[in-house]
Amino acid sequence: MRNLWVFISKYNAFFLFIICFIISITLIIRNNSFQRSGVFNSSNEIVGEAYSRINKVQRYLRLAEVNDSLAKENATLRKDLKMSHFDDSLVQQSVVDTISRQQYTYIVARIVNNSIHQKNNYITINRGSRHGILPGMGVICSSGVVGIVKDVSADYATIYSLLHSDTKISASITENQAFGSLVWGEGNSDPRTAVLQDIPNHIQVKIGQHVVTSGYSTLFPEGLPIGRILRTKEKGGESFPEIVVRLDTDFSTLQYVYVIKDLFGAEKEILEKQSKKDG
């Protein structure tokens, strides 16, 4: 306390000046409308700028929450798409009884681990069996196909990325309806391309044509985007050319995915297994 009094007494002239200065400014602002409006305008501008900066920080801190909300909303909207419904229409003579039944639903998940430069690449998501995830489910994102669920725990699941040697997707070319299998390709190190196999040589394939899911499996609805044909090359003595596809999905920037649940998948698989058994 003694040191404080010594400090004040030593600089009393300075403190007296500050007090008088504040009183003078206050009197000027109170008794002069022009100065008062100028000060208020300046203070409002400063406060407004401060609030603006605080708001930007708050919005940045809430980005994760906003992204979660948007991803859930997208999953709901995807469920209502025409491709997610099964056409159960009945035609009897001239009467058409149109019925649309839900076939696909979507579970939102956030990526917690991802690789793109390995020989076999995996993705880990923060959803598991507790959320309805099962091995063998298809996985997509807003821009295209991502992969297939491999292993599942209670709260997490690993995905065979499309950039995996064991991943094979049934795909077709939109312009001519030819279908084959999309694979990453042996020795391929480019995470932006894959190879479309089993398209016969007599099919006319052009650069720029669209490649989509064929719908011939229970993994993906028909017509989901995969990519565009980047180049083709005929192999001597073989019936199928090499067709390189530029993928729509950028695996290096993935954050959210949608796991597809086919409500008719189990019924279809049981029927197909029975047919193979009988054959």
In a domain, 139, yes or no: yes
pLDDT at 259: 92
In a domain, 249, yes or no: yes
- Please tell me the distance from the alpha carbon of residue 257 to that of residue 126, in angstroms, as a whole number: 10
Q: CB 40: neighbour CB atoms within 10 A?
A: 11
pLDDT at 91: 40
Give the residue, 265 or 116, on which the prediction is more confident: 116
In a domain, 228, yes or no: yes
Domain count, the chain: 1
Q: Are 158 and 124 in contact (CB under 8 A)?
A: yes
Pair of tokens at residue 67: 């992204």
In a domain, 221, yes or no: yes
12-37 tens-digit pLDDT: 677 677 777 677 666 666 666 655 55
CATH code of 205's domain? 2.40.10.340
Q: Which residues contact 164 (CB under 8 A, 6 or more apart)?
A: 120, 121, 122, 147, 184
In a domain, 223, yes or no: yes
Judged against a pLDDT cut of 50, whether residue 73 lies above it is answered with yes
In a domain, 205, yes or no: yes
In the predicted model, what is the mean pLDDT of residues 250-278?
80
Q: Is 142 helix (H, G, I), strand (E, B) or coil?
A: coil
In a domain, 204, yes or no: yes
Domain, as residue range, for 135 = 105-278
pTM above 0.75, yes or no: no
In a domain, 253, yes or no: yes
